[in-house]
């Protein structure tokens, strides 16, 4: 907001002079005065920025630079009001007027990130870096977003798959787990958390690690033996095992 206000302030006096000159010579070509919009920005008055800067933005006689500054100020207000689509829309117009603004690409990237538009956010951060290779914020955001996309891709690769190979499953309980995405995800989570808990216990002592793995082996043996009984709820048993392991992990 401060940068926008400073940029606006530099043109205010000149705009007032031009207004007086234009009024005396060619009233039909008079450009809208940016001073009220500047004042609203300087006052950090969000509602006034929207009310006063919007006519400046919409007036076809507004100078391009004044329009860019007004659009940027209004986009920042929309962002603060959590009106993300409107903020992105304003930044879209700014970048059509001047596609070389690295800060605007970065700002729009952050908004796209809020909307979980990961490809769009990555593209904006990359554009900001291309325009300004030293743009620290864009570089940090691009790296974080790239890692997030990589992590999500890895999760999708194993989504709805258990910890074992369904192609070689022989037990009825294993086949039931493979046939249910929810049970498959539970099995994978149980295996992952158990591996972590056993590793933590082993760091304390090998004996503790073996004891912890023994608990998991006992759970699987009980699960295999009980599956198929009318009173046995496989999903409930697996959920209880996962909750128990999560409790151990947090200790």
pLDDT single digits (tens) 8-26 = 555 444 444 444 444 444 4
Confidence (pLDDT) at 25? 42
pLDDT higher for 127 or 60? Answer: 127
Confidence (pLDDT) at 149? 73
Question: Looking at the structure, do residues 172 and 120 belong to the same domain, yes or no?
Answer: no
CA distance 143 to 125: 9
Question: Looking at the structure, do residues 151 and 174 belong to the same domain, yes or no?
Answer: no
Nearest to 57 by CA among 41, 74, 40: 74
- For residues 206-218, give the mean pLDDT: 94
* Final residue in a domain of this structure, among 130, 156, 182: 156
CA distance 25 to 22: 5
Question: Looking at the structure, do residues 205 and 134 belong to the same domain, yes or no?
Answer: no
Question: Looking at the structure, do residues 228 and 125 belong to the same domain, yes or no?
Answer: no
HSE, CB side, 13 Å, CA atoms: give it for residue 172: 8
Is the pLDDT reported for residue 54 higher than 50?
A: yes
161 part of a folded domain: no
Do 7 and 22 meet the contact criterion of CB atoms below 8 Å apart? no
Question: Where is 167: in which H helix or E strand?
Answer: none
* Final residue in a domain of this structure, among 100, 128, 156: 156
Question: Looking at the structure, do residues 17 and 133 belong to the same domain, yes or no?
Answer: yes
pLDDT digits (tens, 9 = 90+) for 120-171: 999 999 999 999 999 999 999 988 888 877 776 665 666 778 889 999 999 9
* Final residue in a domain of this structure, among 109, 138, 156: 156
* Residue 59 CB partners (closer than 8 Å, separation 6+): 31, 32
Question: Looking at the structure, do residues 127 and 25 belong to the same domain, yes or no?
Answer: yes
Do 125 and 141 meet the contact criterion of CB atoms below 8 Å apart? yes
Question: Looking at the structure, do residues 13 and 85 belong to the same domain, yes or no?
Answer: yes
The domain that holds 57 is classified in CATH as 1.25.40.10
Question: Looking at the structure, do residues 149 and 203 belong to the same domain, yes or no?
Answer: no
| Mean residue pLDDT across the chain | 86
Question: Looking at the structure, do residues 178 and 83 belong to the same domain, yes or no?
Answer: no
pLDDT higher for 69 or 22? Answer: 69
- For residues 99-114, give the mean pLDDT: 95
Confidence (pLDDT) at 154? 61
Nearest to 248 by CA among 207, 184, 198, 187: 198
Confidence (pLDDT) at 11? 47
Confidence (pLDDT) at 63? 92
Query: 4-26 burial, b for 16+ CB within 10 Å, e for fewer?
Result: bbebbeebbeebeeebeeeeeee
234 part of a folded domain: yes
Give the total number of structural domains in the chain.
2
Residues of the domain holding 171: 166-250
Tokens representing residue 200 in the block: 């933590």
Do 215 and 203 meet the contact criterion of CB atoms below 8 Å apart? no
pTM of the model: 0.54
Confidence (pLDDT) at 205? 92
Question: Looking at the structure, do residues 142 and 170 belong to the same domain, yes or no?
Answer: no
38 part of a folded domain: yes
Question: Looking at the structure, do residues 142 and 191 belong to the same domain, yes or no?
Answer: no
């Amino acid at each position: 907001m401060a940068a926008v206000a400073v940029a606006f302030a530099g043109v205010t006096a000149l705009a007032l002079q031009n207004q007086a000159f234009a009024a005396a010579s060619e009233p039909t070509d008079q450009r809208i005065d940016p001073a009220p919009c500047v004042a609203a920005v300087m006052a950090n008055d969000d509602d006034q920025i929207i009310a006063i800067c919007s006519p400046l933005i919409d007036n076809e006689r507004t100078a391009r630079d004044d329009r860019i500054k007004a659009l940027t100020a209004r986009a920042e207000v929309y962002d603060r009001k959590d009106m993300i689509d409107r903020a992105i829309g304003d930044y879209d117009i700014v970048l059509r007027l001047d596609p070389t603004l690295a800060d605007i690409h970065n700002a729009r990237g952050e908004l796209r990130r809020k909307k979980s538009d990961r490809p769009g956010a990555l593209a904006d951060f990359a554009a900001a870096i291309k325009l300004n290779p030293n743009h620290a914020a864009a570089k940090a955001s691009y790296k974080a977003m790239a890692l997030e996309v990589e992590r999500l891709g890895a999760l999708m690769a194993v989504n709805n798959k258990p910890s074992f190979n369904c192609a070689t499953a022989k037990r009825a309980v294993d086949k039931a787990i493979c046939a249910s995405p929810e049970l498959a995800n539970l099995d994978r989570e149980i295996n992952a958390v158990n591996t972590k808990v056993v590793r933590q216990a082993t760091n304390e002592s090998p004996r503790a690690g073996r004891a912890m793995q023994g608990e998991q082996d006992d759970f699987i043996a009980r699960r295999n033996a009980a599956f198929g009984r009318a009173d046995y709820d496989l999903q409930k048993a697996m959920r209880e095992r996962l909750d128990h392991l999560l409790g151990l992990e947090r200790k």
